[in-house]
Amino acid sequence: MNLSPEYLAVLANSTIRMTTPILLVTLAAALCTRVKLFNIALEGAMIAGAFFSIVANYYTGSVWLSVAAGAVSGMAVCGLVGFCVVHLKASAVVAGLAANTLMTAATTYLLSIIFNTKGVFTHPSLVSLPKITLPGVSRIPFIGTLFSGLTPLDYLAFGLAGLLYVFLYKTVPGFRLRAVGINPEAARSLGTPVERWQLLTITFSGLLCGLGGCLLSMGTVTLFIQNITSGRGYIALAANTLGQSHPLGVLLSCGFFGFSQAVGNALQNTALKTQMTFSIPYAATIIALIAFHLYTQHKKKKAKEALLH
């Protein structure tokens, strides 16, 4: 393997592109955690986003209508689950997992009804997300490669992390949203419509998932495959734990998962078999959670010792 700077730049670029879909979904997970909801339907919302953006793409040919379709479909999935969980008091895990299988099945169903195909759909008329070329930057050797081929949604993902940080910690609505998660009973006793906040938040989280899905189906490639999300919604839950549901912490943990996927992809052209490289992100998830646990244990122990001396 050739570890030239150029190669590293390609890897870094790939890391960024692998990070952003997970980042969008992990931000969604973080928001839900902030209002004390466990949203495991991220995966399904992402599938919906990926699929419906392709459908809109095929019929309208407009990139932005496709993105909008992806976002709205993600919101619909999370909104449905949110309604079942918040208002019908369904189990969050069960309803969320159900939504995931529902979306897997529904997209496959629609794929055969609309496009009369199974498994994969792609078409020459599909347009992909525009790639942003930063003027002047593309010619700088390392930096140019690093930032090549990024779409507006990639930049948006990073921007959203910052924006959500400001929203949560600096604004009044963000303050009230956090309060709902810290103590829903207290918020309710002071007249806050907790359920409405929860439903709004989970629905908005669906928007982020939809965008994440759209990035999968219209970013690097322009097609829809069954299992296009390949568990990213679940990995996002782990990334959310590692990032402590903090928009900036999540940025770091998603970077790690993006990196592990980029490495997995890079190793595909080597002697390693695909089954091995494909399983890297999942193994990395478990290993990262273990490392995180050991680290926090260590920190706790230190704090306790410090208290005693």
Partner 1 sequence: MHHKQPLGNESLRHWLRRFAGDLKQPALAIFAGLVVGGMVIALSGFHPLTAIGSMLKGGFGSAYYLTTTLTRATPIIFAGLAAALAWGSGYPSLGASGQMILGALVCSQAAVRFTGPPLWVITLSLLCGMLGGMLYSLLAAWISDRFKLYLLIVTLMLNYIADYIASYTTTYLVKDPFGADASAIQTQRIESGILPRIFTGYTVHWGFVIALITVIAILFIMKKTTFGYRARMGGLNPRFAEYGGINSRRMMYGVLLLSGALAGLGGACEVLGARFRYVDGMITSPGYAWSGIIASLMANNHPVGIFFSSIFLAGLTTGGGAIERSMGVPSEVTTIIQSVITLLITARFVVAVRKRHASPAPYTPPEGGDLHESQP
Partner 2 sequence: MLLRMHQISKSYGPVTANDQVSIELHKGEILAIVGENGAGKSTLMKILYGLEQPDSGTICLNDRQVVFHRPSDAMAQGIGMVQQHFMLFGSMTVAENVVYRKETRKGLFMDHRRNQALVRELSQRYHLPVDPQAVVDDCPVGLQQRIEILKILYQDAHIIIFDEPSAVLTPLEVEDLLKTMDQLSRLGKSIILITHKLHEVMAVAHRVVVMRDGRVISASDTSETSLEKMSYEMVGRQIPTRRMTPPAVGNPLLEVAGLSLKGEPGTITLHDIHLQLRQGEIVGIAGVSGNGQSELIRCLAGLQAYDAGQVMLNGTDVTRASAGTIREAGLAHIPEDRYAWGSAPAATLAENALVGAEGRPPFSRRGILNLRQVNAHAAHLIQGYGVKAASLFQQMASLSGGNAQKLIAAREIARKTPVLIACEPTRGIDIGAMEYIHGQLIEKRDQGDGVLLVSSELSEIMDLCDRIYVMFEGRLNGEFIRGEVDEKTLGLYMLGGNRHAPQTALG
Residue numbers at the binding site for partner 2 (CB under 8 A): 170-173, 175-176, 178-179, 182-183, 185-187, 189-192, 300, 303-304, 307-308
Instruction: Work out whether 38 is an interface residue with partner 1 (CB under 8 A).
Output: yes
Return the structure tokens found at 33.
Answer: 């955690």
* Kind plus residue range of the DSSP H or E element containing 17: helix 5-34
Residue 172 contact among partner 2, partner 1, none, beta carbon within 5 to 8 Å by kind: partner 2
Residue 173 contact among partner 1, partner 2, none, beta carbon within 5 to 8 Å by kind: partner 2
| Interatomic CA distance for residues 105 and 157, integer angstroms | 28
Question: Are 53 and 219 spatial neighbours (Cβ–Cβ below 8 Å)?
Answer: no
Residue at 136: amino acid letter: G
Question: Are 41 and 100 spatial neighbours (Cβ–Cβ below 8 Å)?
Answer: yes
Q: Which is nearer to partner 1, 38 or 158 (CB)?
A: 38
Residue 45 contact among partner 1, partner 2, none, beta carbon within 5 to 8 Å by kind: none
Q: Which is nearer to partner 2, 226 or 244 (CB)?
A: 244
Instruction: Work out whether 91 is an interface residue with partner 1 (CB under 8 A).
Output: yes
| Interatomic CA distance for residues 259 and 215, integer angstroms | 17
Question: Are 53 and 66 spatial neighbours (Cβ–Cβ below 8 Å)?
Answer: yes
Question: Are 51 and 214 spatial neighbours (Cβ–Cβ below 8 Å)?
Answer: no
Region of 227 please: left (phi>0), alpha (psi -120 to 50) or beta: left
String of contacts with partner 1 for each residue 104-123, x by CB under 8 A = xxx-xx--xx----------
Q: Which is nearer to partner 2, 178 or 200 (CB)?
A: 178
Instruction: Work out whether 267 is an interface residue with partner 1 (CB under 8 A).
Output: no
Q: Which is nearer to partner 1, 63 or 80 (CB)?
A: 80
Residue 38 C-beta: closest distance to partner 1, Å: 5
Return the structure tokens found at 11.
Answer: 């890897």
Q: Which stretch binds partner 1 (CB under 8 A): 18-26, 34-42, 62-70, 133-141?
A: 34-42
| Interatomic CA distance for residues 24 and 229, integer angstroms | 13
Q: Which is nearer to partner 2, 42 or 194 (CB)?
A: 194
- The residue written with tokens 């902030």 in the block is 34
Return the structure tokens found at 30.
Answer: 């973080």
Nearest CA-CA partner of 54 in 117, 9, 139, 98: 117
Q: Which is nearer to partner 2, 55 or 160 (CB)?
A: 160
Q: Which residues bind partner 1 (CB under 8 A)?
A: 36, 38, 40, 80-81, 84, 88-95, 97-99, 101-102, 104-106, 108-109, 112-113, 231, 234, 237-238, 241, 273, 275-276, 278-279, 282-283, 285-286, 289-290, 293-294
